[in-house]
Amino acid sequence: MSRPFRQVDVFTTTPYHGNPVAVVLDGDGLTTEAMRRFATWTNLSETTFVLSPDAAGADYRVRIFTPTSELPFAGHPTLGTCHAWLSAGGTPHDPDRIVQECGVGLVAVRRSAGGLAFAAPPLLRSGPVAEPLVRHIASVLRIDRTDLVDAQWVDNGPGWVAVLLASADAVLALRPGTVDLDVGVVGPYPPGSTQAFEVRAFSPQITAVEDPVTGSLNASLAQWLLATGRAHAPYVVSQGTVLGRTGRVHIARDPNGAIWVGGGTVTCIMGQVDL
């Protein structure tokens, strides 16, 4: 069966400078095995399948696959899927708010000055990281334990644990070994810089190499950094620099305290796939 397809670059307005996601726009009727097989074949960090919603109030439902597993939530696939759904003629119930149904429940998406933005979902796990794991993270990152300013569980689905380094330059200088857990690294730029932080993401369940730009991680990092006073919204994160990308993630907080994670989205491939 021929199904509409988009490949969308996310967290950029310049094609091929962000993080791509493959989107199958009519996933109804596909088996889980067919979805897994296609996601493995695309070999992108994530492939999504748009389905008819089950939950009241949802505009569409999405299933998110890496080449090896299914994720309950991921950020750049959320924005890329919403972009593809809207560009294919999707009409939300509320013109100011698109509601995506996924493994963590309902996620709101809105249009913003920086592009599309999703509301950061609640953390599934937070709190301090046990010292043996902190030492292990330092080891796989190939840095001294004393280089880690702080560490925190920031899991909103994929399983992230975050570590803070002293500076963006320290983040950019990392040359890790084999990273065997989902770890995000963040470091601040000097005051007055265009970007507030540099972020890098390593997730063996998403990709065997570094993930270029990561919405879920930036969502949970924002919750941690804002709560500890290390960041003040709105701010902009750069990610993917070491990989030659220019990903930009826009973080905002509304008057109700909700954190929004946004960025540009642009269609790079459009057509049909036989599934």
Same domain membership, residue 98 and residue 13: yes
pLDDT score of 207: 66
Same domain membership, residue 9 and residue 75: yes
Same domain membership, residue 191 and residue 177: yes
Same domain membership, residue 129 and residue 201: yes
Same domain membership, residue 233 and residue 270: no
Catalytic residue among 33, 46, 198, 210: 46
Whether the CB-CB separation of 269 and 127 falls below 8 Å is answered with: no
Range name among 28-32, 71-75, 202-206, 263-267 with the lowest pLDDT average: 202-206
Same domain membership, residue 225 and residue 109: no
Same domain membership, residue 214 and residue 110: no
Across the range 129-142, mean pLDDT stands at 97
The C-alpha atoms of residue 15 and residue 49 are separated, in whole angstroms, by 22
The confidence band for 257, taking pLDDT boundaries of 50, 70 and 90, is very high
Which pTM does this prediction carry?
Answer: 0.94
Higher per-residue pLDDT: 7 or 68: 7
pLDDT score of 158: 83
The total number of residues shown for the chain amounts to 275
Range name among 85-99, 134-148, 192-206, 247-261 with the lowest pLDDT average: 192-206
**CATH code at position 100:** 3.10.310.10
The confidence band for 204, taking pLDDT boundaries of 50, 70 and 90, is confident
Across the range 160-185, mean pLDDT stands at 96
Question: What is the secondary structure of 155-223 as a DSSP string?
Answer: ESSS--EEEE-S-HHHHHT-------S-EEEEEEPPTT-SSSEEEEEE-TTT-SS-BS--HHHHHHHHH
Q: What percent of the chain has pLDDT over 70?
A: 99
258 CB neighbour count, 10 Å cutoff: 11
Across the range 266-270, mean pLDDT stands at 98
DSSP H stretches of helix in 7-104: 32-42, 75-87
pLDDT score of 157: 85
Same domain membership, residue 173 and residue 114: no
Nearest 5°: the CA angle 138, 142, 148 is 35
Same domain membership, residue 20 and residue 140: no
Decide if 70 is catalytic: no
Same domain membership, residue 58 and residue 9: yes
Residue-number span of the structural domain to which 245 is assigned: 125-256
Same domain membership, residue 80 and residue 66: yes
Across the range 212-235, mean pLDDT stands at 96
Structural domains of the chain, count:
2
Range name among 5-14, 33-42, 67-76, 130-139 with the lowest pLDDT average: 67-76
146 CB neighbour count, 10 Å cutoff: 7
Across the range 106-122, mean pLDDT stands at 92
Same domain membership, residue 270 and residue 247: no
